[in-house]
Amino acid sequence: MSVILYEQARIRLSGDRALLVEYGDGIDPAVNEKVRTVTAFLKQNLPAGVEAVAPAYRSLSILYDPLATNPTNLAEILHALEAESRTAQIVEPKVVPIPVCYGGEFGPDVGVVSEHTGLREEEIIALHSAVDYRIYMIGFTPGFCYLGGLDHRLRTPRRKTPRMNLPAGSVGIAESQTGMYPVESPGGWQIIGRTPLRLFAPLRESPFLYEAGDRIRFVPVDKLEFDRLYKTEWS
C-alpha cells in the first residue's frame, strides 16, 4: 500500500494551544522531507505567537500563545509557506558521523541479531554502517532519534523483556528501525554497539549533535579508539 503525500496540509487542533499539521498518511521519505522543509521555513522566521515547532514522521506540531495568534492566522501562514516551499531550495541535510564500537561488552545483543538474521557479526557491522540514516523524528528521551533506512536483512524483533537501564550511547535495532540512546534509560531494543560521543549535553552550546531531517552515518571503531573518544567527551 503506497503512502499518500497530501497536496495541501491537513491542520487539526491539538488542545487549546497547539496545531497538528499533517503532510501524508504514512511513513515515507517524501512526506518527511515535506515536514523538514516546512519546519525549516518556520524556524527561519517564527510567526508571531509561535513558541515551538516539533517535527515528526509525517506531521509537525506548532505550539502557540493563544493570546498572540489563533489557528486561522496560523493556517494561512502555513498554506503560504507550503506554496513557497515547492520552488524554494533549502539547506541540504547535515550528515553526522557517529563512531560506534560494535559487539563485545558494548553490543550484548549482536548474537541475538546474528541468530535471527543468519548473518555473521562482521556482516551485521558492515550492513549497519553502510548507509546514511534519515532522522525522521526525535523523542522518547532527549535526543533519541528514530532513524529510517535500516537494511531489511538486519530487521530483528525487540527484546521480550526490556532492560531497566541502558548506558548512554547504546546503539540498537528494533524491527525495521535503528537508533541511539543518548541518556541512561530503560530500553527494549537489541543493543549491537555503543558510541563514545556525548549525544546530549544540556550545558553545551548546542546540546544535540543533530536534528530531525539530518542524516546519521555510523562509523565502526575499535575499543582503543572508543576509550580515547570517551575520555575526551566525558572527562
- CATH number, domain with residue 230: 2.40.100.10
- Residue 88: per-residue pLDDT: 63
Domain-terminating residue out of 85, 116, 145:
85
- If one counts every other C-beta atom within 10 angstroms of the C-beta of residue 25, the result is 15
Task: List, for residues 2-14, the tens digit of each pLDDT value.
Answer: 788 888 899 999 9
**188 confidence band (pLDDT: 50, 70, 90):** very high
Q: Is residue 90 part of a domain?
A: no
Residue 197 and residue 99 share a domain:
yes
Q: Given pLDDT bands bounded at 50, 70 and 90, which one contains residue 67?
A: very high
Q: In 33-63, which positions are buried (b, 16+ CB within 10 angstroms) versus exposed (e)? A: bbbbbbbbbbeeeebebbeebebbbbbbebe
Count of structural domains, the chain: 2
227 in the same domain as 139: yes
DSSP per-residue letters across 159-224: PSS-EEEE-TTEEEEEBTEEEEESSSEEE-SEEEEE--S-SB-TTSSSSBS--TT-EEEEEE--HH
Q: Indicate if 27 and 67 belong to the same structural domain.
A: yes
The answer on 106 and 219 residing in a single domain is yes
Domain that holds residue 191: 95-234
d(CA 17, CA 210): 27
Assign 70 a pLDDT band (cuts: 50, 70, 90): very high
φ/ψ (deg, to 5) at 67: -85, -10
Same domain, 41 and 155: no
pLDDT of 179 = 94
Do 62 and 135 belong to one domain? no
Nearest CA-CA partner of 10 in 21, 26, 25: 21
Backbone phi and psi for residue 149, each to the nearest 5 degrees, phi listed first: 115, 5
Average pLDDT of the segment spanning 43-47: 86
Mean pLDDT score across all residues of the chain: 92
Per-residue pLDDT tens for 134-159?
999 898 888 999 999 999 999 999 99
**pLDDT at position 65, please?**
96
Mean pLDDT of 190-210: 94
Any domain includes 24? yes
Q: Which residues pair with 106 in a beta bridge?
A: none
Q: What is the pLDDT of residue 1?
A: 59
Note whether 165 and 213 are same-domain residues.
yes
**Domain boundary pick from 54, 85, 116:** 85
Q: Within a domain: residue 22?
A: yes
Are 66 and 108 members of one domain?
Answer: no
* d(C-alpha 122, C-alpha 88), whole Å: 43
The answer for residues whose C-beta is within 8 angstroms of residue 146's C-beta and 6 or more apart is: 57, 135, 136, 137, 138, 139, 177, 179
Domain membership flag for residue 206: yes
Predicted structure pTM score: 0.86
Tell whether 80 and 100 lie within a shared domain. Answer: no
Number of separate helices (H) and strands (E) present in the chain = 5, 13
Q: What is the pLDDT of residues 73-113, one digit of tens each?
A: 999 998 888 877 776 666 788 999 999 999 999 999 999 99
pLDDT attached to residue 140: 83
What percent of the chain has a predicted confidence (pLDDT) above 70? Answer: 98
- CATH number for 45: 3.30.1360.40
27 and 69 inside one domain: yes
Q: Is residue 187 located within the same domain as residue 113?
A: yes
